[in-house]
Amino acid sequence: MTQELAATSVPAGGTTKVADEVVEKIAVAAARAVPGVVELGGDVARFFNAVFDRVGLDQLGDARRGCSAYVTGDAAVINLVLVTEAGRPVPEITGEVRAQVTEAVEAYGLRVDEVNIRVDDVTIGDPATTTPA
């Protein structure tokens, strides 16, 4: 009589850490998709981005510009700096940004404890042709 052993798969142990930079990229992509968000980053970041654009390095730093994230365990705190479109209510824009960023980050299995937003500037006129004031 032969005895057969059933093969069972047991997951390997270990830990998983999501880097702050990954959360920053997710948050920036979600924030950019919100109507009324024209740009991310403070004055200095936008200045350097304009310089990079002129010398052909237009994608350098764009994925995380205007965002810092801190991941501790399975929780994230996210800080965003936005430029908004003039004439649109800031509470509406920032509320939608918080909702979209939270949904996007939580889809990756993290809990979002805070989404802090600073509106750094506003554009006047057509955002496609106007630079922030």
Closest CA to 113 of 68, 56, 72: 72
At residue 2, the pLDDT reads: 56
Q: How confident is the model at residue 10 (pLDDT cuts 50, 70, 90)?
A: confident
pLDDT in tens, 13-34: 888 889 999 999 999 999 999 9
Closest CA to 66 of 89, 37, 92, 105: 37
> Residue 47, by phi and psi: left (phi above 0), alpha (psi -120 to 50) or beta?
alpha
Domains of the chain: 20-123 (3.30.70.1350)
Residues 6 or more apart whose Cβ sits within 8 Å of residue 24: 63, 64, 67, 68, 69, 78
Single pTM value for the model? 0.74
C-alpha 55 chain-centroid distance = 25
